Homo-oligomer: A and B are copies of this chain.
Amino acid sequence: MKKAIYYHAGCPVCVAAEQQLLDTLDTQRVALQKIDLGQSPEARVQARQAGVESVPALCIDGAVFHINFGASLADLMGEGA
């Protein structure tokens, strides 16, 4: 199984990507986990360490793919633009 983590923050861009893009994934081969970065500071630190710079982002086996642009992680972490 491939391991995929979808990082989001509940914003409209994130929701659109979640509904349409994630629905195309092959759930027989991909184990998908969803992490809301708005919910915990620990998750934001973990996301940054994984290379996530903005949400929504889909991390597949360690490779980060940033999708469109919803919010920067710096903004979510309260570090300003």
Contacts and interface: CB of A to CB of B under 8 A. Distances in A.
Tallying the copies of this chain within the complex gives 2
Contact of A61 (B20, B29, B30, B60): B20
A29 B27 CA distance: 11
Contacts of A16: 63
A71 interface: no
Given A16-B63, A20-B60, A20-B63, 20 more contacts: A2-B23, A2-B24, A17-B65, A20-B61, A20-B65, A21-B58, A21-B60, A24-B26, A24-B29, A24-B30, A24-B60, A25-B25, A26-B26, A26-B27, A26-B28, A65-B67, A65-B68, A66-B67, A66-B68, A66-B69
